[in-house]
Amino acid sequence: MRLSLLLLVSMLAHAQPPDPAYQPLSKAYQNLQDKQYDAAIDFFLKGIEAAPARLAIRKDLAYTYIKVGEPEAARDQFAEAMRLDPADFHVALEYAFLCNDTKMQTESRRVFDRIRKDGDPASRATAEAAFQNIDQPLAAGIGRWQKALELAPENFNAHYELAGLAEQRDELALAAEHYARAWQLLGSRKQTLLDLGRVWKAMNRLEDANSALLAASRGGEPRAREAALELLPGRYPYVYEFLHALEVDPQNIELRRELAFLQLTLQNQPEAEREFRIILEQAPDDLLSCAQMGFLYLTRDEKARAMPLLEKVLKGSDAALANRVRAALKMPLVEIAGQTYRVSNDAKVMAERSLNSGYLADALQFLQQAHAADPDDGWVMLKLGWTYNILHNDALAYRWFDLARNSADASISAEARKAYNNLHPAMATFRTTLWLYPFFSTRWHDTFGYGQLKTDLKLGGLPFRPYVSMRFFGDTRLTGGGPLPQYLSESSVVLAVGAASNSWRGLMGWAEAGSAISYLDRGPQVHRFTPDYRGGLSFGKGFGHLLGAEEPGWFFEVNADGIYVSRYDNDLLLYTQTRLGVTPAPIAALDELQTQFFWNNNIIRDAKSMDWANYIETGPGVKFRWPWMPRSLVFSVNALRGAYTVQQYYRRPNFFDLRMGFWYAVTR
Question: For residue range 215-239, what is the model confidence (pLDDT) as tens digits?
Answer: 888 877 777 888 888 888 877 788 8
Residues in the chain: 668
Q: Does residue 183 lie within any of the structural domains?
A: yes
Helices 287-299 and 253-265 cross at an angle (nearest 10°) of: 30
Answer yes or no: is 149 within a domain.
Answer: no
Is 5 within a domain?
no
Same domain for 514 and 650, yes or no, is yes
User: Quick one: 351 and 209 in the same domain?
Assistant: no
**Residue 580 phi, psi (nearest 5):** -120, 125
Whether residue 87 sits in one domain with residue 41:
yes
Which range has the top average pLDDT, 360-364, 368-372, 501-505? 501-505
Can you tell me the distance from the alpha carbon of 516 to that of 531, in angstroms, rounded to the nearest whole number?
6
62: Cβ contacts below 8 Å, ≥ 6 apart: 73, 74, 75, 77, 78, 81, 94
Please tell me the distance from the alpha carbon of residue 208 to that of residue 236, in angstroms, as a whole number: 17
Q: Please check whether residues 62 and 197 belong to one and the same domain.
A: no
CA distance to 146, 285, 411, per residue, from 424 (Å): 49, 42, 20
Q: Are 212 and 200 in contact (CB under 8 A)?
A: yes
For residue 9, what pLDDT is reported?
Answer: 45
Domain co-membership, 587 together with 630: yes
Give the whole-number percent of the chain exceeding pLDDT 70: 90
- Nearest Cα neighbor of 349 from 368, 322, 367 is 367
The sign of the CA dihedral 383, 387, 388, 390 is: positive
Strands 492-501 and 430-441, sheet pairing:
unpaired
The residue-averaged pLDDT of 451-455 equals 92
Q: Which of 150-159, 328-337, 458-467, 528-537 has the lowest mean pLDDT?
A: 328-337
The span from the CA of 518 to the CA of 540, in Å, is: 30
Residue 143 inside a domain? The answer is no
3-state secondary structure of 529: strand
Residue 496 confidence (pLDDT): 93
Distance CA 396, CA 390 (A): 11
The residue from 295, 328, 361 where one domain ends is 328
| 149-182 per-position pLDDT tens digit | 888 899 998 999 999 899 888 899 999 999 999 9
**pLDDT at residue 463 above 90?**
no
Strands 430-441 and 553-565: unpaired
Is residue 145 within 8 Å of residue 126, measured between CB atoms? no
**Residue 362 pLDDT > 80:** no
Position 18 scores a pLDDT of 65
From 328, 359, 385, the end of a domain falls on 328
pLDDT at 303 over 60: yes
> What tens digit of pLDDT does each residue of 263-285 get?
877 778 888 889 999 999 998 88
Enclosing H/E stretch for 613: none
* 462, 549: one domain: yes
Mean pLDDT of 400-413: 84
Domain CATH code at residue 489:
2.40.128
Q: What band does 306 get if pLDDT is binned at 50, 70 and 90?
A: confident
Residue 152 lies in a domain: no
- Domain final position from 328, 352, 369: 328
pLDDT classification of 509: cutoffs 50, 70, 90: very high
Burial class of residue 49 (count of CB atoms within 10 Å of its CB; 0-12, 13-18, 19+): exposed
Q: Coil, helix or strand for 314? A: helix
Same domain, 417 and 434: no
pLDDT of residue 15: 46
Determine the Cα–Cα distance for residues 135 and 151; give it in Å rounded to an integer.
Answer: 25
pLDDT of residue 262: 83
- Per-residue pLDDT averaged across 295-314, rounded? 86
- pLDDT of 139 > 80? The answer is yes
369 three-state secondary structure:
helix
If phi > 0 it is left, if psi is from -120 to 50 it is alpha, else beta; for residue 378 that is alpha
What does the pLDDT read at residue 21?
79
pLDDT of residue 358: 62
Average pLDDT of the chain is 84
Q: Quickly list H helices, 16-88.
A: 22-33, 37-50, 55-67, 71-84
| Residue 585 vs residues 412, 451, 542: alpha-carbon distances, Å | 32, 31, 18
Do 295 and 354 fall within a single domain?
Answer: no
**Together in a domain, 393 and 308:** no
Percentage of the chain modeled with pLDDT above 90: 24
Residues 534 and 609 in one domain: yes
Q: What is the pLDDT of residue 2?
A: 54
547, 625 Cβ separation under 8 angstroms: yes
Judged against a pLDDT cut of 60, whether residue 208 lies above it is answered with yes
CA 296-298-304 angle, 5° bins: 115
Range of the domain at 243: 163-328
Report the CATH number at residue 390.
1.25.40.10
Domains held by the chain: number: 4
> What are 29-57's pLDDT values in tens digits?
888 888 888 888 988 898 888 888 888 88
Torsion on CA atoms 640, 645, 651, 655, rounded to nearest 10:
20
179 in any annotated domain = yes
Q: Is residue 140 part of a domain?
A: no
For position 341, what pLDDT does the model report?
47
Looking at the fold, whether 176 and 282 belong to one and the same domain comes out as yes
Residue pair 575/559 in contact (Cβ under 8 Å)? The answer is yes
For the entire predicted model, the pTM comes to 0.47
Q: How far apart are CA 323 and CA 331, in angstroms?
A: 9
Q: Is the pLDDT of residue 592 over 90?
A: no
Q: How far apart are CA 470 and CA 451, in angstroms?
A: 8
Terminus-to-terminus CA distance in the chain, angstroms?
Answer: 85
- Residue 482 is predicted with a pLDDT of 46
Give the per-residue pLDDT at 14.
46
Helix axis angle for 394-404 and 410-427, nearest 10°, is: 140
Is residue 154 one of the residues assigned to a domain? no
Which amino acid type is present at position 122?
A: A
Q: Let me know whether 416 and 441 are in one domain.
A: no
